[in-house]
Structure formats: C-alpha cells, structure tokens
Amino acid sequence: MDKKSIRLLSKQRLDALAPSLREAQSQAIVERVRSLGFWQNSLTVLFYYPLRREPDVRPLLVWWASLPGRTAVLPRSSPGASSQFSLAAVRGLERLEVGRWKIPEPTPLAPSVDPESIDAVLVPGLAFDRSGMRVGRGMGWYDRLLSFLPPRTVRVGIFFSVQEWPALPKEAWDEPLGWIVTEKETIVVSQS
Ligand SMILES: Nc1nc2c(c(=O)[nH]1)N(C=O)[C@@H](CNc1ccc(C(=O)N[C@@H](CCC(=O)O)C(=O)O)cc1)CN2
Ligand SMILES: Nc1ncnc2c1ncn2[C@@H]1O[C@H](COP(=O)(O)OP(=O)(O)OP(=O)(O)O)[C@@H](O)[C@H]1O
C-alpha cells in the first residue's frame, strides 16, 4: 500500500478511538516510557508538543524539565522554509508560543540546543511497524530532524497500538527507530 493510503487509514483508526480510551491509552504510554532505562543515561531529551491525534507526552516533558541538571528540548520553527527549524530548551509548558502549524513552541528567547547534545528523542508519527519503520505526515520533517541527530541518540517512537502496520515501505531517507512504545508493549528494535 502507498504511504498516502497508510496515512489516511491510520488517521481514520485514530479518529475512531473514543476520547476516554485515547486518554487512558495515552496515560499508559506515558507510564511505559517513563519506566524505560534510557532516561538514566540521558541529560538532554527532545520532546514533541502533541497534535490532536498524538499520544500526550506533555507530562514527561514537565517531569524532565523539573529534574535538576536535565534539559527538555522542543523544536522551534524558523520564519523561512517550513523545513527550517532549530532546537531550544524549555522549562516546562509555560512561555511557549504558537508557531507555524499552530503548534506551541519555544520563543525566540529560549536558549538554542545543539543537535549533537540530544541523548534521546521521542518521535510521533502516523504509522509504525515492528522493524522500526515509521510514516509521518509526509513532509519528511522528522526524517530530516533525525538525520541531524548523532547516531548515539536513542530514538523512541511513540504510538497508539492501532497505528501498527505489518510492514511499511522503506525509503532511502527513512530513519529507523530504536524503540517503539505503545499502550500495550515496548518493542526493542535495536540496542543503541
Ligand atoms: N507533534 C508534532 N510536531 C510536529 C510534527 C508532527 O508530526 N508532530 N511535524 C511533522 O511533520 C511538523 C509539523 N507538521 C504538521 C503537518 C500537518 C499538520 C496538520 O495537518 N494539522 C491539522 C491538525 C492535525 C491534528 O491535530 O491532528 C490542521 O492544522 O488542521 C500539522 C503539523 C513539525 N512538528
Ligand atoms: N533527510 C532528508 N533531507 C531532505 N529531504 C528529505 C529527508 N528525508 C525525507 N525527505 C523528503 O521528504 C519527503 C517526504 O518523505 P516521507 O514520505 O518519508 O515523509 P514521512 O516519513 O511521512 O514524514 P516525516 O519524516 O515528516 O515524519 C520525501 O519526498 C523526501 O524526499
């Protein structure tokens, strides 16, 4: 199946989740991610600000930002091309401002963060498979972001289990995930 159909079907499955179920699954995902070992080896973690259909990882961001010596990071869009972005440290969910795509993001005053310093990244998407492949919103935005991070960065895909596909098409630029967390399970794709 082509990526466009995969995106469409995944969105339909997500929209079919009752809000209370989505909320419960989102909380289960958060607790599962929080229990993973990579946090112990991390100082700087890149989060995402959830869109409507994505697991709500905001509690993890707030938790991480509150820990001494740890840095929570969010992407910040640039005024230029839509593919342009920078990374910036945030102290929590306050003082974010709505940027491109109406997603809350760090203000221009938030300190920039070097991609090289990112120890782990939480990655959303529309579909995943067990080999660590994912399909996003078709902008190549996350593939590009992941290509800027060092190989050592732990890449954790965050998905509802209804987003699983048997095998997704793999393209040259696709950046595989090391871990996948759903409300049901934690999948280890590779030890990295
Ligand atoms: N959390 C998150 N941030 C991200 C991405 C993402 O997939 N997830 N992106 C990865 O590419 C980029 C933004 N890409 C986007 C592409 C499409 C829409 C969009 O269609 N928005 C709909 C509402 C969709 C929804 O809430 O589910 C709209 O504006 O109507 C939004 C962002 C950068 N930041
Ligand atoms: N590292 C990259 N640098 C530049 N362009 C890229 C990169 N990765 C992907 N692209 C371009 O982005 C477009 C969309 O790619 P693809 O369909 O794989 O996106 P996606 O996985 O759905 O989205 P995303 O990566 O945002 O989650 C492709 O046409 C591809 O050429």
144 pocket-lining for ligand 2 (C-beta < 6 Å): yes
Q: What are phi and psi of 118, to 5 degrees?
A: -75, 115
- Residue 54 has a CB neighbour count (10 Å cut-off) of 18
pLDDT in tens, 148-172: 999 999 999 999 999 999 999 988 8
Shortest-distance Cα residue to atom 13 of ligand 2: 140
Answer whether 0.90 is exceeded by the pTM.
yes
ipTM score of complex: 0.91
Q: What is the pLDDT of residue 79?
A: 79
pLDDT at 104 over 60: yes
Does 141 appear as a known binding residue? Answer: yes
Q: What are phi and psi of 131, to 5 degrees?
A: -90, 0
Ligand 1 atom at minimum distance from 48 CA: 1
| 38: nearest Cα among 155, 123, 187 | 155
Which amino acid, 53?
R
| 157: nearest Cα among 192, 128, 114 | 128
